[in-house]
């Protein structure tokens, strides 16, 4: 009798923890999809800025560096939140890029602005090493983008 009682309590505890985990897992999926959308939009914007710089508009370089630093902050946050699989991250980014092909310019602009605010908030609370990682990502990516033909 006591065994059944303990077993039923254990089962109830397991089921209740599972029911708590499910919404949290769903929230993680939404957050990861939102982050992928942000990074995809930032990449598109960074590609355009790099194109302008290569065409002679060197004044756009600070904007490119800032865009890449912000993207680096979101990438770092994704990693710290548990997304360590680069294949999964690449697949999420590709899915976001493909999904955005149906977005109109207004939606892209609105989402991009929200992403910039989110990235700035991440940078504001980031530790020194986290800010360094975001800046380092930006510098490496900037050099690569500007050296590509």
pLDDT tens series, the chain, 149 aa: 544 544 444 444 444 444 444 444 444 666 778 899 999 999 999 999 999 999 999 999 999 999 999 999 998 888 877 766 777 778 888 999 999 999 999 999 999 999 999 999 999 999 999 999 999 999 999 999 999 77
Q: What angle do CA 89, 92, 95 make, to 5 degrees?
A: 150
Instruction: Determine the pLDDT at residue 11.
Output: 40
Classify the C-alpha dihedral 87-80-38-100 as positive or negative. positive
Tell me the C-alpha distance between 26 and 69, whole Å. Answer: 28
Judged by DSSP in three states, 84 sits in coil
pLDDT at residue 20, as a whole number? 45
**pLDDT attached to residue 86:** 78
- Looking at residue 10, its pLDDT comes to 42
C-beta separation of 140 from 74 below 8 A: no
Q: In whole angstroms, give the CA distance from residue 105 to residue 76.
A: 27
Q: What is the pTM of this model?
A: 0.77
pLDDT of residue 64: 97
Q: What is the pLDDT of residue 3?
A: 46
Give the pLDDT confidence score for residue 137 in this predicted structure: 93
The reported pLDDT for the residue numbered 37 is 94
CA distance 41 to 108: 7
pLDDT for position 83: 63
Residues in the chain: 149
């Amino acid at each position: 009798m006591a065994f059944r009682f303990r077993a039923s309590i254990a089962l109830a505890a397991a089921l209740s923890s599972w029911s708590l985990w499910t919404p949290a897992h769903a929230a993680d999926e939404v957050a990861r999809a939102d982050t992928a959308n942000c990074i995809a939009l930032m990449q598109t914007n960074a590609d355009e800025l790099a194109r302008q710089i290569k065409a002679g508009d060197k004044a756009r370089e600070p904007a490119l560096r800032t865009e890449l630093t912000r993207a680096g902050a979101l990438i770092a946050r994704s990693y710290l939140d548990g997304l360590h699989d680069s294949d999964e991250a690449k697949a999420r980014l590709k899915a976001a890029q493909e999904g955005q092909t149906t977005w109109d310019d207004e939606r892209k602009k609105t989402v991009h602005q929200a992403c910039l605010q989110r990235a700035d908030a991440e940078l504001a609370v980031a530790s020194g090493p986290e800010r360094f990682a975001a800046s380092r990502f930006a510098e490496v990516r900037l050099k690569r983008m500007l050296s590509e033909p």
